[in-house]
Structure 1
Amino acid sequence: MGKAIAFLRKRYGLTQKDVAEYLGISDKAVSKWERGLGTPDISFLVKLAMIFDTDIESILEGNIANFDLNWHGYLALDYAEGISPNTLLYDKPVVYYQLAYLMLASITDICVYGSPLQIHVMKQCLPDMEELGVHLAYRSRNNAERFDTVVRRVVQETTGLDGVMYITGLSFLYGKDLTKVFRRQIYNVYESVELFDRMDRSMSMGFFRRKMGRPSHATFERGMIAFPIDDYAALYDAANIVSGIQHQGERVADLMEIASQRGLLHDR
């Protein structure tokens, strides 16, 4: 457990004093945890999980081999009729939401597939993603090639790659534990997974591992808002939800804020 805490702390660029101040304890206590001379109280474990964007189980297991996995992102620019990457969902283009989901999973190497026009439109509405610690590569989509064939080739041919988180459509996801949902799939699931909402609708999102096989189904838990945006009515519903959340002072799909909180701005 101590090694896991030390690894996660360093990954987010925090000192023992930073963690101690957040928890309201001395940095000597954090040092003892990391050296295996003591263990944190359960109340501290909850806060540590929040700091490190993981779950308590991962810290307790202390399996640091799973914390340093190499995952890439795959984003296919597929939308319902009349929707494009720069279509606004309340106050941000829809592609911001898709990139936000990948960034919440701490995935920073993302390959974007789409038509030349879609790629151009996307580039025009994005901030400098390299400044946010995210590298985007663009490829024109070959409509004759099946998605699973593309992903299988990417996973098999990329040296050292453990898996791919893919997004092939537009969905709305919101919840305090969204990061943990994503990271749990990466850390603890040893098979490919496709995500569904509670009405058994595909979220056009999932996780492919090197040993893929047939993906299993995973359903979002209660307390999460999750639904596909397959028409303008669903886009309008999502915009109303975002409006209510942001009027309470919380930002949604704010790429700069996510990059800062996830430790992606290493040099800033």
Structure 2
Amino acid sequence: MSTDDPQHPPVPPVSRRSQPRFRSRERRAELAEAFTRTGADYDRLRPAYPEAALDAILAALPAAVERRTAVDLGAGTGKLSAALAARGLVVTAVDPAASMLDALRDPGVERVVGTAEATGLPDACADLVTAAQAWHWFEADAASAEVLRLLRPGGVLALLWNTLDVQIPWVHRYSRIMHAGDVQRDDFAPPVAGGLALAERVVVRWEDPMATPDLVDLARTRSYVITAEEERREKVLANLDWYVHEHLGHERGSTVGLPYRTDLFLYRAA
């Protein structure tokens, strides 16, 4: 059935948030600890990155390099790391949580426990540095300095976010029920320190096919739900179950395309 529903509240033309929610150091530490307990759910339920975004990243890299190398900061369970390795890059995945890196299935990706601000990797070791769904967890000035240290001449920093496409009415309400915090305005710009100049911005709109129970369980990977008291967490999940299966009328276990937008920012050393 169509997921356009006239009973949904009006959707504003853009989100009122200018960028992803950049947290304090203390809040980042608290949420990072919570995410380490949900690595399996995160890996199973969070979307991969669209081929068009990967194409744009690779097109920005120096063409003369035979074996291009990438460092993926805040790699988590390695969704982007594995995708880059599949495109022929030599990839090092860096994350502060070993338990998240343990979910990375690609044996060809090197795993390093470290932070975006202090990876411990050698100088000028990468043609590409990436941060997918992660830059807002970092200290921007320190992470930018580390990126500049890691990049070879002509190298590229790629920052990207998958966010729910809340321009679509049913997705807007879905995101509100699960308290999704990763929506932003079209004109947002990540806080990147001096020395890195924006070369290109790419926006890709696409759909991730999901079984309806997974549309409900996706909330388990959201920071609001992860850190909530059990009663509040169960209420959110029950509300989502009602919304997907009763209000929208999808048959339980059927597949629904969940609309996303991917925002990609490509930087070069200034």
- Which structure is higher in strand share? 2
Task: Pick the structure with more helix per residue.
Answer: 1
**Larger RCO: 1 or 2 (CA < 8 Å, sep 6+):** 2
Q: Give the TM-score taking structure 1 as reference length.
A: 0.31
